[in-house]
Amino acid sequence: MEFLDLPQQLSAVGTVRLPGSKSISNRVLLLAALADGVSEVRDLLASDDTERMLEALQALGIGVESLGAESWRIRGCAGRIPVKQAALFLGNAGTAFRPLTAALALAGGDYTLTGVARMHERPIGDLVDGLRQLGADITYLGNEGYPPLQLKPAAIRPDGVIQVRGDVSSQFLTGLLMALPLTGETVTVDVVGDLISKPYIEITLAIMARFGVVVVRDGWQRFTVPAGSRYVSPGTLYVEGDASSASYFLALGAIGGGPVRVEGVGSESIQGDVKFAEALAQMGAVIEMGPNWMAARAPQGGLHAVDLDCNHIPDAAMTLATTALFARGTTTLRNIASWRVKETDRIAAMAIELRKLGAEVEEGADFIKITPSTLKPAAIDTYDDHRMAMCFSLAALATPLRINDPQCVAKTFPDYFSCFAAVTRAAPVIAIDGPSASGKGTVAARVAAALGYAYLDSGALYRLTALAAQRAAVAWDDEAAVATLAAQLPVSFSEDDILLAGIPVGDAIRTEAMSAGASQVAALPAVRDALLFRQRAFNTAPGLVGDGRDMGSVVFPQASLKVFLTASAEVRAERRYKQLIDKGFSANLPDLLSDLQQRDARDSQRSVAPLRQEADAYLLDTTALTIEQAVNQVLAWQANALS
């Protein structure tokens, strides 16, 4: 499985140019395809969902041409889809699946529409029922009420009033409304039940109007598409930035100091999710806005919890769930039943993952309640849901964390994590690598103390693994078994000792036997993998000094300072000799020297994470230096690195 490890972030400030809105992009593409005339669409979102729509349009014979830099030329078919038979794969793109179902069912042709497994679990029955009232011939190829679908040519009878439910997904009404001009007659849609996610209907109506079709409406209950309505290209169109995508950066500003400014959406946006800014303001954030931009910063005294009806911002409300981790009190997000039928069951997924971080969560059929606590590092699963990945990145302002399958953000925001990195500042790391007994442990611990940073003795983790294996009677070369032990190592670090299963280990990991065991288990790739996140979890505020063999090369390649600390083998053997004697162990200098040379060879010649000086590491040879001098040198380099 792929993953992305995020260190704890100290702050967030900066500006992000947003990618195009997913909702607007896919609506515009479909209407441009159905319109009379050629449209040029600029600032289109480049993502999985829009790719599925573009592919589908091409398969249907629509002229689609890339003009570079997120601009596309679409040759409209004036309501007559050229290809009458096609099999369309629409991935997990609800914004492609629902409107295409409606348009193709009314356009007349022989089409199959399929998606990924999750798409086949997302209901579409209410839309199909609406279309069948118009005479459409639609067959469920799998489960009743769900994709995949087969559409056949049928005599469409646009007679008067049809009914569609509006309380599961507003995309059914959107799909119907966008397709109705294809009938050429007057059709009225009555919404049954309470219409949810109303702002998305506003987007639909606004874009239809841009293409020349004005829907007559009676509140949120009744929508009429008049006879003779037809789509006409408006020429060139600019897609707004994605307001849901904006939510992550506004939240970052509200949590991490800010200001964080997003460009591409603002007070003149047609997207309902700009209302996220109001919700954030209710939590105390300081919000500013212009026609085409918004900015957020943290309030004095921090954010506080809210109790909110989120029906109008279903997608952006997910961002509130992780923002709640930083707010005093219990946040309740209500009226979010639609979360259960999105890319994943978002209420369940959110609850499971928030709990992993240590929050207290209560979930109901249509609400979630979050009470924060001190957050702890965790590996977050993303459920093939872009918003899960983006929401949970916010937690990095409190704790290091791992995001599994981070590439799922490609659904709507392929560059998300580089934009995230551009506006956040990670807790710095000083990586000190070097051979055994070079004095790096002593130097690293003192540098950490001087700077108030955390200290990671990574060698101790390998030593503990060797000790745990010995205690469990597992051989040091049994890779799978040692890796399992390493992954579950019940270790904690107290002020003056390391605890294994709650018991201080003292010098038990410092013996020559454990040095040899550590060197052996450290050569096993599965063991190194098992210990990777555990090490990265030390990368907390205000900073970290880590010492070992691969701090700069593997564990913290982004370190603000890398030092390769060494000394001649003879001097190291002497230092080790003194250390052992001081601790009351017996020792023999020639044996120590030869053991040291053997370990050096094994640590530097192994295939995984061998000990070597990185190209960007400073060399610090301590053969002729005192500890004090070595510490001062590292501190001077770090001051320089951070300036």
Candidates 48, 49, 242, 315; catalytic one: 315
Closest CA to 119 of 87, 151, 142: 142
Among 102, 522, 559, 565, binds ligand DC (CB under 6 A): 522
- Helices of type H across 133-263: 170-179, 198-210, 243-255
Amino acid present at 75: R
47 binds ligand DC (CB under 6 A): no
Stretch that binds ligand DC, among 76-84, 268-276, 390-398, 517-525 (CB under 6 A): 517-525
205: Cβ–Cβ under 8 A, 6 or more apart, which residues?
A: 177, 215, 217
Looking at the Cβ atoms of 333 and 531, the one nearer to ligand DC is 531
Stretch that binds ligand DC, among 15-23, 168-176, 252-260, 514-522 (CB under 6 A): 514-522
Stretch that binds ligand DC, among 242-250, 331-339, 379-387, 518-526 (CB under 6 A): 518-526
Region 548-577 residues binding ligand DC, contact defined as CB under 6 A: 548-551
Among 252, 320, 518, 530, binds ligand DC (CB under 6 A): 518
Region 264-303 residues binding ligand DC, contact defined as CB under 6 A: none
Among 519, 539, 622, 638, binds ligand DC (CB under 6 A): 519
Q: How far is the CB of 641 from ligand DC (least distance, A)?
A: 21
Helices 458-471 and 525-536 pack at an angle, to 10 degrees, of 130
Looking at the Cβ atoms of 113 and 456, the one nearer to ligand DC is 456
Looking at the Cβ atoms of 121 and 479, the one nearer to ligand DC is 479
Q: How far is the CB of 604 from ligand DC (least distance, A)?
A: 10
Cα dihedral sign, 442-443-446-447: negative
Task: For residues 524 and 509, give the distance between their C-alpha atoms in angstroms, rounded to a whole number.
Answer: 19
DSSP-derived pairing of the beta strands 222-225 and 187-192: antiparallel
Q: How far is the CB of 428 from ligand DC (least distance, A)?
A: 18
Q: How far is the CB of 270 from ligand DC (least distance, A)?
A: 53
Q: Which tokens belong to 576?
A: 């080790």
The residue to which tokens 């026609």 are assigned = 291
Looking at the Cβ atoms of 229 and 436, the one nearer to ligand DC is 436
Task: For residues 205 and 203, give the distance between their C-alpha atoms in angstroms, rounded to a whole number.
Answer: 6
Q: How far is the CB of 619 from ligand DC (least distance, A)?
A: 18
Question: Residue 584 CB: number of other CB atoms within 10 A?
Answer: 7
Stretch that binds ligand DC, among 311-319, 394-402, 546-554, 632-640 (CB under 6 A): 546-554
Question: Residue 366 CB: number of other CB atoms within 10 A?
Answer: 16
Stretch that binds ligand DC, among 37-45, 246-254, 314-322, 542-550 (CB under 6 A): 542-550
Q: How far is the CB of 592 from ligand DC (least distance, A)?
A: 13
Looking at the Cβ atoms of 98 and 549, the one nearer to ligand DC is 549
Task: For residues 614 and 631, give the distance between their C-alpha atoms in angstroms, rounded to a whole number.
Answer: 20
Looking at the Cβ atoms of 332 and 519, the one nearer to ligand DC is 519
Looking at the Cβ atoms of 136 and 531, the one nearer to ligand DC is 531
Stretch that binds ligand DC, among 101-109, 319-327, 410-418, 516-524 (CB under 6 A): 516-524
Answer yes or no: 315 catalytic. yes
Region 317-356 residues binding ligand DC, contact defined as CB under 6 A: none
Number of residues that bind ligand DC (CB under 6 A): 15
Stretch that binds ligand DC, among 111-119, 170-178, 480-488, 515-523 (CB under 6 A): 515-523
Q: Would you say 464 and 492 are in contact if contact means Cβ atoms under 8 Å apart?
A: no
Compute the half-sphere exposure of residue 141: CA atoms within 13 Å on the CB side of its CA. 13
436 binds ligand DC (CB under 6 A): yes
Question: Residue 45 CB: number of other CB atoms within 10 A?
Answer: 27
Contact string (CB under 6 A) for ligand DC, positions 452-481, x = contact: ------xx--xx------------------
Task: For residues 450 and 84, give the distance between their C-alpha atoms in angstroms, rounded to a whole number.
Answer: 73
The residue to which tokens 């499985």 are assigned = 1
Looking at the Cβ atoms of 26 and 465, the one nearer to ligand DC is 465
Q: How far is the CB of 96 from ligand DC (least distance, A)?
A: 47
For residue 518, the SS3 value is helix
Q: Would you say 490 and 501 are in contact if contact means Cβ atoms under 8 Å apart?
A: yes
Q: How far is the CB of 528 from ligand DC (least distance, A)?
A: 7
Among 187, 247, 603, 633, binds ligand DC (CB under 6 A): 603
Distances (CA, A) of 63 to 56, 208, 318: 11, 20, 37
DSSP 8-class letter at 121 = G
- DSSP-assigned states of every residue in 58-85: HHTT-EEEEEETTEEEEE--TT--S-SE
Task: For residues 74 and 54, give the distance between their C-alpha atoms in angstroms, rounded to a whole number.
Answer: 10
Task: For residues 374 and 357, give the distance between their C-alpha atoms in angstroms, rounded to a whole number.
Answer: 8
Looking at the Cβ atoms of 454 and 522, the one nearer to ligand DC is 522
Q: How far is the CB of 563 from ligand DC (least distance, A)?
A: 14
Query: How far is it between the farthest Cα atoms of the chain?
Result: 99
Backbone angle region of 219, left / alpha / beta, with phi > 0 → left and psi within -120 to 50 → alpha: left
Report the interface residues with ligand DC, using CB under 6 A: 436, 458-459, 462-463, 515, 518-519, 522, 548-551, 599, 603
Catalytic residues: 315
